Structure 1
Amino acid sequence: MFKKGLKDVVAVQTNIASVEGDLGELRYRGVLIDELIPSYSFEEVAYLIWHGVLPDENELRNLESKLIISRLLPPHVLAIIDALPAEVPLMDAVRTAISAFAHASFSNAPIEEQAIILSGAIPVIVAKHYRKQQGLPTVNSNPNLSHIANYLWMLNGELPNALQVEALETYLKLTMEHGLNAATFSARVTISTESDLTAAITSAIGTMKGPLHGGAPSGVIELLEEIGNQENILPIIQEKLQNGEKIMGFGHRIYKTEDPRSFLLRDKCASMVGIDEWLDLAVVAEKEIINLLAKHKPGRKLYTNVEYYAAAIMRSIEMPPELFTPTFSVARIIGWTAHAIEQLQDNSIFRPESEYIGTKRAFA
């Protein structure tokens, strides 16, 4: 039976993550994210997604060391980034630089090691090209900082405070993996041809670049900027609902209850109330918007999704919108590489059928 966009068609069996939309549950390797995210670091959760178990102390230190080493980009990749004009969009720069990792010393490494190398490299690539676009000098990696703290350091040239790191890390841990989304499917289709990991990740990055996939928090920031203060929440949202406008940050195609990722982001934002006015506004606005949606659209079950609080966090750490999708990719590359590795363990090339709907003609 034809289903446009392959919606609801099961194309893959996976042990990596499960998304239970009716229950409002997201699990990494069978473990609810509610149990993982508050207790484990970005590096620990990445190890779980790659290996299916949490690392012991030695395994964690080993992974952290490899990620730090991977921040030192190969000379030819650095040369390519340096050669790219500043006006090249960030996602295009990332895609180009990642594709250049397909060289002998990289390709001969085990695919698990390749996954670590690319995951360590992508934040550096983003930061280098972003600072070029801003007319700023490159900031060298700091080996004493964690994966996410170093990313913020390389972007801004200032040591981030603990709250900024914690807020961004919470968001990125929650977006490492989310089932067979479009970019992950692209990675699995490419690797299923027995191509290489760089090709698979390049495919995923190209897919993530599309506005229907990455970058959704931008619309939420525009909404919160329009609201401006708590007194404006009610009149602005009521007007939008009366005009039939979509309220950004609410509703999800998969989740029929609240997006489970939004719970954890809300808790993080609530813990920072009084520190940042954007987070304060987001927490108050959410409650009022949900009540208004329930009144204007009864039965629709429109709850907060992950983009709502992601936008508040991004705005609170002064991350500009052009960095949203690249930053999302810094996290999601963990899931992409895990899926590519899993695909090769029991591979079958993807070859769906197409249905011809044109006319049949004969030429005289």
Structure 2
Amino acid sequence: MAGGLDDVIAAETVLSDVDGAAGRLVIRGHALSEIAGSWTFEQVLALLFDGFFTDLPDEAALRRALGEARVEVGHGIAPLLPELAALGPFDGMRAGVALLPDGAGLGDALRLIAAPAVLLPAIVRLQAGQATIAPDADLPHAADMIRMLTDEASGPKVAALETYLATVCDHGLNASTFAARVVASTGAGLMSCALAALSALKGPLHGGAPGPVIEMLDAIAQAGDARGWLTDLVRSGGRIMGFGHRIYRVRDPRADALKAAVRRLAGSAGDARLRFAEEVERTALGVLRAHKPGRVLQTNVEFYTALLLEAVGFPPDAFTAVFAAGRMTGWLAHAREQALTGRLIRPRSSYIGPQTDLAA
């Protein structure tokens, strides 16, 4: 058996198809290139939830219901925000999610999607010494998230965040999604599934790299020598953040979607940051080819995630939590898909410990 369950088929799904050899991601029959930058968050949500909730409304009603869920969550957690903010963006958001009801209905799912969108801007603002901003049910999801973070629904920033949320909405049976499906298979509610997924995502081997990308870019800028800095890092056994993926043997298609979004977002100040990042990307790929010729290490989703989330106003320590805000839709869709099978996930283990002579 392959370590880490590589190549083991653990579920059948209609939600996403990840072709690592071709560098292709399909979301319910739609190529990522078709969705990212063109679809609203609510359209993506409706696509992922279709068939998993009997009372799923049309897109306009779904947008309104999600807005009302943000208001409901915001009102419920407002008194607890100082304590949640003290935990930091990810742990504070996860603790807030844990306070939600553990049901299996559409309303439960919408509250779980609403929670990160409300909690993260509030925690970031409180940590910066700013007052929180209450949700507005009349705004689209991405626009309200940006407004709660920056106090204005800037068109370019909203479009960039909407692209990001769509790009990361689902990605096959990764560690956090598998955790959600395992919990769903026991008959637990959606909040329990979301908590399992969030806890899996927190591990640095799964969701912890976008923040360090910013630290790497800043260190390279300070050193003034990208090739020398990156070469020293690789020779010392370090990892270049934002490069390489467990599945993709070619370039991660999500990196291209987010790079295009960053280019659309970049203004006069952002252009210099983007040009610098692109130069670091080219240099890093060259260093990796030279020093790790036997490995395929291409740009992954984390590299341009860091640039995009920095540009829309999130600090690096919130990046993984913002990822969760986008992936929550996929987690919940997978949880519902698994629950509808009625089958408990119960793999076997192979015992390799010491043996006891039972015949003695």
| TM-score normalized by the length of structure 2 | 0.89
> Structure 1 residues 137-146 or 216-225, which shifts more?
137-146
Find the counterpart in structure 2 of residue 215 from structure 1.
208
SS of the aligned residue for 2:68 comes to helix
Match of 1:325 among 320, 324, 333: 320
Query: Is residue 306 of structure 2 the alignment partner of residue 311 of structure 1?
Result: yes
AA matched with 1:19: V
Find the counterpart in structure 2 of residue 73 from structure 1.
72
Match of 2:132 among 116, 134, 138: 138
2:36 and 2:75 map into 1 onto residues whose CA distance is: 36
Once the two structures are TM-superposed, the CA of residue 229 in structure 1 deviates from its matched residue by: 7.5
Whether the 8 Å contact between 1:164 and 1:317 is mirrored in structure 2 is yes
SS of the aligned residue for 2:169 comes to coil
Question: Gaps spanning 5+ residues in structure 1: where?
Answer: none
Task: Kindly provide the CA deviation profile for residues 292-351 of structure 1, in whole angstroms up to 9, marking residues without a partner as x.
Answer: 322333342221101011111122234212211111111010001100111122121011
Query: Is residue 261 of structure 2 the alignment partner of residue 243 of structure 1?
Result: no
Whether the 8 Å contact between 1:70 and 1:117 is mirrored in structure 2 is yes
Task: Kindly provide the CA deviation profile for residues 139-181 of structure 1, in whole angstroms up to 9, marking residues without a partner as x.
Answer: 111334321121122123x204222222222222111111111
Whether the 8 Å contact between 2:142 and 2:162 is mirrored in structure 1 is yes
AA matched with 1:10: I
Pairing 1:289-304 to 2, within 5 Å after superposition: 289-304=284-299
Cα RMSD after superposing both structures: 2.7
Whether the 8 Å contact between 2:37 and 2:162 is mirrored in structure 1 is no
Match of 1:205 among 191, 194, 198: 198
1:268 and 1:122 map into 2 onto residues whose CA distance is: 22
Find the counterpart in structure 2 of residue 253 from structure 1.
246
Once the two structures are TM-superposed, the CA of residue 196 in structure 1 deviates from its matched residue by: 1.2
Q: Aligned residue pairs: how many?
A: 353
Find the counterpart in structure 2 of residue 355 from structure 1.
350
Once the two structures are TM-superposed, the CA of residue 97 in structure 1 deviates from its matched residue by: 2.5
1:339 and 1:160 map into 2 onto residues whose CA distance is: 31
2:223 and 2:330 map into 1 onto residues whose CA distance is: 37
> Structure 1 residues 312-321 or 171-180, which shifts more?
312-321
From the superposition, tell whether residues 83 and 39 of structure 1 become closer, same or farther in structure 2 (CA, over 3 Å). closer
Find the counterpart in structure 1 of residue 276 from structure 2.
281
Query: Identity of paired residues, percent?
Result: 36
AA matched with 2:49: W
> Structure 1 residues 131-140 or 8-17, which shifts more?
131-140
From the superposition, tell whether residues 294 and 86 of structure 1 become closer, same or farther in structure 2 (CA, over 3 Å). closer
| TM-score normalized by the length of structure 1 | 0.88
Once the two structures are TM-superposed, the CA of residue 251 in structure 1 deviates from its matched residue by: 1.1
1:279 and 1:308 map into 2 onto residues whose CA distance is: 11
Task: Kindly provide the CA deviation profile for residues 266-311 of structure 1, in whole angstroms up to 9, marking residues without a partner as x.
Answer: 2223334553022221123222322332233334222110101111
1:75 and 1:311 map into 2 onto residues whose CA distance is: 27
Find the counterpart in structure 2 of residue 192 from structure 1.
185
SS of the aligned residue for 2:133 comes to coil
2:152 and 2:232 map into 1 onto residues whose CA distance is: 42
1:142 and 1:75 map into 2 onto residues whose CA distance is: 10
1:101 and 1:291 map into 2 onto residues whose CA distance is: 47
> Structure 1 residues 161-170 or 175-184, which shifts more?
161-170
SS of the aligned residue for 1:247 comes to coil
1:99 and 1:76 map into 2 onto residues whose CA distance is: 16
2:83 and 2:3 map into 1 onto residues whose CA distance is: 38
Once the two structures are TM-superposed, the CA of residue 66 in structure 1 deviates from its matched residue by: 0.7
Once the two structures are TM-superposed, the CA of residue 71 in structure 1 deviates from its matched residue by: 0.8
- Which structure 1 residue ranges, 4+ long, deviate > 6 Å from structure 2? none
Query: Is residue 86 of structure 2 the alignment partner of residue 93 of structure 1?
Result: no
Whether the 8 Å contact between 1:119 and 1:330 is mirrored in structure 2 is yes
Pairing 1:151-166 to 2, within 5 Å after superposition: 151-156=145-150, 158-166=151-159
From the superposition, tell whether residues 328 and 136 of structure 1 become closer, same or farther in structure 2 (CA, over 3 Å). same
From the superposition, tell whether residues 219 and 74 of structure 1 become closer, same or farther in structure 2 (CA, over 3 Å). closer
